[in-house]
Amino acid sequence: GTGPEHLDLAALEDQARTLLPPAVADFYAGGAESEVTLGEAPAAWRSWRLRPRVLGGLSAVRLGTSLLGSEVATPIGVAPWAFQALAHPDGERGTARGAAAAGALMTVSTSATAPLAAVAATEADSPKWFQLYRQHSPAHTDDLARRAGQAGYRALVLTVDLPVFGRRLRDVANDFAVPADLPPGNVPASGSVAAESPVWTFDDIGRFGELSGLPVVAKGVLRGDDAARCVQAGAAGIWVSTHGGRQADPVIASAHALPEVVGAVGDEAEVYVDGGIRAGSDVLTALALGASAVFVGRPAIWGLVTGGEAGVARMLDGLTAQLAHTMLLCGVPDVRAVPRDAITPAR
Ligand code: FNR
């Protein structure tokens, strides 16, 4: 069967690869430099072990939670990823429908192939966050932030780990370029631009919050001191991430950076994490370490490639079912309060 209980992400990735041109499959799968971070991410989650509680009389678990005030049915969200029309003709709208079907939060990339307002209007009642990249023109970046607020996004995610692009050697080897007939959804078609936008600093957190009227999440934080400065500057959420191993490499795995960030800001801000989450037990580990939610990137890509919106929903439902199953096995009743002592380092 293909039900959630049979979710096999490795098989899904293999199937996706057969459906994509090799250079596109490499663009989605690849990381930066020697791909050390990419390779270590899943293993870092597996450096923890569960400590099941027995005889607690637990027969059902609570999966729903609230993220910056938006209700979701699962603590597993979709990370922002670029150029979704390369993966499936439905593009970002397909992902939006799949996420909505699973009751999951979707984060929409600036590098989407559909305009931000069109994605926001797809399953408009299902919560979405908009991820902001710095544009060449400061006026354009500001305009995107304002429009994200007007379009109904519930938060603005500033990706702070991309002052410059990482070196993605697969893309260099493949001479990969986004096809010219794929119009960017959120970049002016022509006429840009005079001044190069200045690189972002902590002050931009408050500025973009005011421009958009939205809570700001800083995505790509790997240090407790940086997390604290982001929160002092007004961030409502900190998203621990290595950008899927696509920026600096090798860097500390998200699973290893998460405890320090939670220790620094966990009382004042929500903390999220992504990178190499591939099983319900990985999700439970992240929640035990203090994350409010996790996000998945490549699993959503493989879902969309192989099955469009239904593929995205099946992947999210499958991972969520794995999480519920693991919680039952471990005696953990509620994703909103997973005890730290539900896990221990493997040895
Ligand atoms: C990304 N990621 C990303 N992040 C972001 O903030 N804006 C973006 O446009 C993109 N684009 C993007 C494209 C592709 C092909 C990948 C694989 C990743 C990073 C993404 O949001 C997330 O941090 C990682 O993908 C999480 O790791 P996993 O789940 O892919 O292991």
pLDDT at 108: 98
Cα of 347 vs centre of ligand 1, distance in Å, is 31
Cα of 304 vs centre of ligand 1, distance in Å, is 14
pLDDT at 5: 59
The protein residue whose alpha carbon is closest to atom 1 in ligand 1 is 81
Q: How far, in Å, CA of 97 to CA of 4, rounded? A: 18
Cβ 243 under 6 angstroms from ligand 1: yes
Q: 4 — phi, psi (to 5°)?
A: -55, -35
For 248-304, the pLDDT digits (tens) are 999 999 999 999 999 999 999 999 999 999 999 999 999 999 999 999 999 999 999
State the burial class of residue 164 (Cβ atoms within 10 Å of its Cβ: 0-12, 13-18, 19+). Answer: exposed
For 131-159, the pLDDT digits (tens) are 999 999 999 999 999 999 999 999 999 99
Atom of ligand 1 nearest to the CA of 157: 6
- Alpha carbon separation from 66 to 3, 41, 327 (Å, rounded): 26, 26, 19
Atom of ligand 1 nearest to the CA of 220: 23
Quick check: 189 pLDDT over 70? no
Predicted-assembly ipTM surpassing the 0.85 threshold: yes
Contact 309, 94 (CB under 8 A): yes
pLDDT bin (cut points 50, 70, 90) of residue 196 is low
Token pair belonging to 131: 């991820």
- Alpha carbon separation from 254 to 44, 54, 245, 257 (Å, rounded): 8, 30, 10, 5
Cα of 80 vs centre of ligand 1, distance in Å, is 6
User: Of the ranges 71-75, 197-201, 263-267, 273-277, which one carries the lowest mean pLDDT score?
Assistant: 197-201
Active site residues: 243
What's the chain's average pLDDT? 95
Cβ 120 under 6 angstroms from ligand 1: no
pLDDT bin (cut points 50, 70, 90) of residue 67 is very high
pLDDT bin (cut points 50, 70, 90) of residue 1 is very low
Cα of 291 vs centre of ligand 1, distance in Å, is 18
Cβ 333 under 6 angstroms from ligand 1: no
pLDDT at 237: 99
Percentage of the chain exceeding pLDDT 90? 92
Cβ 211 under 6 angstroms from ligand 1: no
pTM reported for the whole predicted model: 0.97
To test ligand 1's pocket by mutation, which of 45, 182, 242, 246 has the most ligand atoms within 8 angstroms of CB?
246
